[in-house]
Amino acid sequence: MSEKKGKWRLTVRKDFAAAHQLRHYEGKCERMHGHNFMVEAQVEGDTLSQDTELLVDFKVLKNMLKEILGDMDHCHLNEHPAFAVHNPSSENIARHIYKGLEARLAGSGVDVKSVSVSEKPAQTATYFEE
Ligand SMILES: Nc1nc2c(c(=O)[nH]1)N=C([C@H](O)[C@H](O)COP(=O)(O)OP(=O)(O)OP(=O)(O)O)CN2
Ligand SMILES: [Zn+2]
């Protein structure tokens, strides 16, 4: 019988404020409006650092998220290069953040599991890869 290998999953949350307008959307969301977006990122791994026994320091993870969100904070997202072609929907914002975290964590042994973006508490888009 194979033994199961334990893993850890860490979650960090941070918000940012931005304006956007959904292209090709028939309704009020095609007009410019803003949100305080809430972002939740989950990362996963199976090895803790030898000395501190952390998967990855929350501080490091939060700084990565801060850097990615800082680039969008108080912006008109339609003018941001990441959304020049893709609509600045919650779905695409989540994917953009996921890719940014993935690049920053490359080679660390820690994988990005998912990124969720909420325009408000009752509606959330989550990006993950299988
Ligand atoms: N799947 C998605 N659907 C919608 C997104 C999105 O990112 N992904 N975004 C929007 C708009 O950005 C909009 O701001 C939110 O729209 P909505 O909740 O419909 O509008 P209200 O905040 O005014 O809510 P009411 O329930 O109509 O009062 C739309 N859809
Ligand atoms: Zn919106």
The catalytic residue positions are: 29, 74, 119
Which ligand 1 atom is at minimum distance from the Cα of 93?
Answer: 7
Strand bridging mode 8-20 / 75-76: parallel
Domain ranges (residues) in the chain: 54-130
Residue 64 phi, psi (nearest 5)? -65, -45
Q: Residue 111: in which H helix or E strand, if any?
A: strand 111-120
| pLDDT tens-digit map of 50-78 | 999 999 999 999 999 999 999 999 999 99
What mean pLDDT do residues 93-103 have? 98
Using alpha carbons, select from 128, 8, 123, 17 the residue that is nearest to residue 61: 8
The residues facing 77 across adjacent strands are none
Q: Choose which residue among 21, 28, 123 to substitute to test ligand 1 binding: the one with the highest number of ligand atoms within 8 A of its C-beta.
A: 123
Degrees to nearest 5, angle at CA 125 with 12 and 6: 45
pLDDT band of residue 1 (cuts 50, 70, 90) is: low
ipTM strictly over 0.90?
Answer: yes
pLDDT band of residue 16 (cuts 50, 70, 90) is: very high
Tell me the C-alpha to C-alpha distance, in Å, between residue 69 and each of 42, 91, 130.
Answer: 15, 15, 24
Which ligand 1 atom is at minimum distance from the Cα of 33?
Answer: 14
Using alpha carbons, select from 43, 126, 64, 114 the residue that is nearest to residue 89: 126
Considering the domain 54-130 in this protein, what is its CATH number? 3.30.479.10
